[in-house]
Structure 1
């Protein structure tokens, strides 16, 4: 398992550009078969733009089940965990609704 510390690659977790940097790092590892542990050490909060780019865009490459099994989080606050959970829940539900139409 590879640990990616967000703060080592971006100054904060606010913009889509920040998220794109982290997404690319995650994809690089997942594409080689590595599991990823994403560390929010020294990151107090993140924006939905950051989460969309860093994590939700992973759904364009992998299923939610694959992401859930191969991506973990550490050093995160309850607020960050809740935001991640809400964003994934919304996106997975939306994709499921599209499939059923």
Structure 2
């Protein structure tokens, strides 16, 4: 299933906007529906948006599951970098907590 981000939020700046996208993602993942998220028409995202929309998913799903079931298309370098860096940081931090 393809979700066009710009059809659900005006911008990708706030936690509130991130929560809208997170809820869409979770409702589909709960039904075992793999997702493709399209950032068509979105020029950039903030860490607040990414943290709420994507990183908080780690509270319910492991990273391998997220990686296998969510794809990103029509992104920019900034969007790719923000998502990748935030996931890398959080996965590392959570793994360190498990080991400690």
- TM interval, short-chain normalised: over 0.9
Distance 2:7 2:54 in 1: 17
- Can you give the 5+ residue segments of structure 2 that lack an aligned partner in the other structure? none
- Can you give the 5+ residue segments of structure 1 that lack an aligned partner in the other structure? none
CA shift, 1:78, in A, is 1.2
How many residue pairs match? The answer is: 100
Partner in structure 1 of residue 78 of structure 2: 79
Q: Secondary structure at the match of 1:76?
A: coil
Q: Secondary structure at the match of 2:13?
A: coil
Partner in structure 1 of residue 5 of structure 2: 6
CA RMSD of aligned residues (A): 0.5
Partner in structure 2 of residue 57 of structure 1: 56
Give yes or no for the alignment of 1:99 onto 2:98: yes
Distance 1:47 1:5 in 2: 17
Q: Secondary structure at the match of 1:84?
A: helix
